[in-house]
Amino acid sequence: MDLSLGEDQLTLRAAFADFFDKESTVERVRAAEPLGFDQELWIKLAGTGAIAMGLPEDVGGGGASNLDLVLVAEQYGRRIAPVPFIEAAAAGHVLAAAGAVDLLGGVADGSTLPTIALSPARDGRLRLVPAGAVADIVVALDGDRLIAIRRQGDQPGARPHVESSPNFASSPLADWRLDDGDLIELASGPQAVRLYQDGVSLWQLLMAAALGGLRSAALELGVSYVKARKAFGVIIGSFQAIQHRLADVVVAGDGAQLLVYEAAWARDAGQPEAAALASMAFLFGADCAFRTARECLQFHGGYGFTLEYDIQLYFRRAKAWPLALGDSRREYQRLADLVYPKPETTGKTATSRKLRSRDGLLRRRQARRVSSGCA
């Protein structure tokens, strides 16, 4: 076991820390609201090679590891950059894995922006697709088909293509219809589901990393505020009530970061538990990021909920970024199925129907008691 970062990784992290510090300033982040997209930053980011860095070299990518992507995503999250880096990386990964090389044209230089719909299509619609308002291609699951929809006739650089759905994080979320562009089937059957789930899993991993970066920046804001603000003649950071809460989020955050790195390592090493770890990293990371942002917002007192102070920018995203995937309780249930062997269910629909009837439920309980010998 060796949990240190290598020389190359430290360099990579420092380079992207610099990039986002310089290019994604608070002023730029604020200026990009409410849409949450900065075209100029997007093109600049493409110029660093970041968007295609995780793709295989034979399709024009950088062949970077998942850990490399995680390090970039952390810096991206730290400066809450108004560009869909994570969505493009996950969608690009699925397109490459499905062999759709022609759809990857223009992805590396930022002229084509791909994204991934995090919920399968329903009634011909994809709801609240992250980066949906600015994307040119959306990768999605429709039944057991993995599809890509390519929007036609849009002028490059004329983003957004459609209006975004107003949301708490200022993210360019938008609905797509399956007939919003050319529909290309990439795969079908179990293979399609597998490719899609792997894409969502990568999104979870990178989102966990981004939330980790967000958390550390929110914490910096909180700490610098409690060290400056005075009450009762002393800085408020000298109060134990504040120190304990800060210590709690730091400890939890350290754990969250380790979990993200472990999940990235597991993906790189082809470990069977990679998907479960990505899900854990996402859930724990989301939880820690929101708790940290919430505490640090509260330390700001009344200023915390004014728009002037920057902590609100982090608070809103910590709450809303993870929601793109839907209800976390559903994700916890899915994680339970990944981590523990599935319960033996026979005739699930028949069972549910029986469960709905009170009499059926009681009968079932009775039968169980008798059969398990503890009546």
Partner 1 sequence: MDFSEDDRLAEYRQDARDWVAEYVDPQWAEQQRVSGSYHTPELHSLVAGQGWLGAGWPAEYGGTANDPDMAAALFEEIDAAGLHMDGWATTKMISQTLLHAATEEQKREFIGGALRGEIVIVLGYTEPDSGSDVAAAKTRSERDGEEWLINGQKMFTSTAHRGTHVFMLTRSNTEVPKHKGLTTFLVPLGSPGVEIRPIYTLGGQRTNATFYSDVRVPDSARIGPVDGGWGVMHVALVFERSGTGGGRRSGPTLSERVATWAQPGCPAPRARPRSCSAPRARSVSTGTCWTSSAPRRCSAGRRATRRWLPRSRRRSVAEWSALSTAAPRRSCGRSSPSACSACPVPVRRADQP
Q: Does 5 contact partner 1 by CB under 8 A? A: yes
**Nearer residue to partner 1 within complex by CB, 305 or 332:** 332
Q: Does 254 contact partner 1 by CB under 8 A? A: yes
The answer to whether the Cα torsion of 103, 108, 112, 117 is positive or negative is positive
Among 264, 311, 312, CA closest to 285: 264
Q: Does 365 contact partner 1 by CB under 8 A? A: yes
- Counting residues that bind partner 1 (by CB under 8 A) gives 43
**Nearer residue to partner 1 within complex by CB, 344 or 359:** 344
Q: What does the alpha-carbon distance between residue 311 and residue 295 come to, in Å, rounded to a whole number? A: 10
Q: How far is the CB of 15 from partner 1 (least distance, A)?
A: 18
Return the residue matching tokens 């107003």: 166
Q: How far is the CB of 275 from partner 1 (least distance, A)?
A: 13
In the region spanning residues 103 to 132, those forming contacts with partner 1, defined by CB under 8 A, are none
Q: Does 261 contact partner 1 by CB under 8 A? A: yes
What are the tokens at 36?
């949450």
Q: What does the alpha-carbon distance between residue 320 and residue 329 come to, in Å, rounded to a whole number? A: 15
In the region spanning residues 192 to 251, those forming contacts with partner 1, defined by CB under 8 A, are 251
Q: Does 266 contact partner 1 by CB under 8 A? A: yes
Asked whether the beta carbons of 247 and 292 are under 8 A apart, the reply is no
| Options 69, 72, 73, 283; binder of partner 1; rule CB under 8 A | 283
Q: How far is the CB of 258 from partner 1 (least distance, A)?
A: 4
Among 118, 115, 94, 96, CA closest to 105: 96
Question: Looking at residue 307, what DSSP letter applies?
Answer: S
Q: What does the alpha-carbon distance between residue 77 and residue 217 come to, in Å, rounded to a whole number? A: 8
**Nearer residue to partner 1 within complex by CB, 306 or 351:** 351
| Options 343, 347, 356, 358; binder of partner 1; rule CB under 8 A | 343
Q: Does 369 contact partner 1 by CB under 8 A? A: yes
Please name the amino acid found at residue 78. R
Torsion of CA 97, 99, 101, 107, to 10 degrees: -20
Phi, then psi, of 99 in degrees rounded to 5: 75, 20
Q: How many CA atoms lie within 13 A of 185 on its CB side?
A: 9
Q: What does the alpha-carbon distance between residue 166 and residue 269 come to, in Å, rounded to a whole number? A: 40
Stretch that binds partner 1, among 178-186, 221-229, 259-267, 311-319 (CB under 8 A): 259-267
In the region spanning residues 320 to 339, those forming contacts with partner 1, defined by CB under 8 A, are 329, 332-333, 335-337, 339
Q: How far is the CB of 67 from partner 1 (least distance, A)?
A: 6
| Options 96, 280, 289, 296; binder of partner 1; rule CB under 8 A | 280
Question: Looking at residue 113, what DSSP letter applies?
Answer: -
| Chain positions contacting partner 1, by CB under 8 A | 1-6, 9, 67, 251, 254-256, 258-259, 261-262, 264-266, 269, 277, 280, 283-284, 329, 332-333, 335-337, 339-341, 343-345, 365, 368-369, 372-375
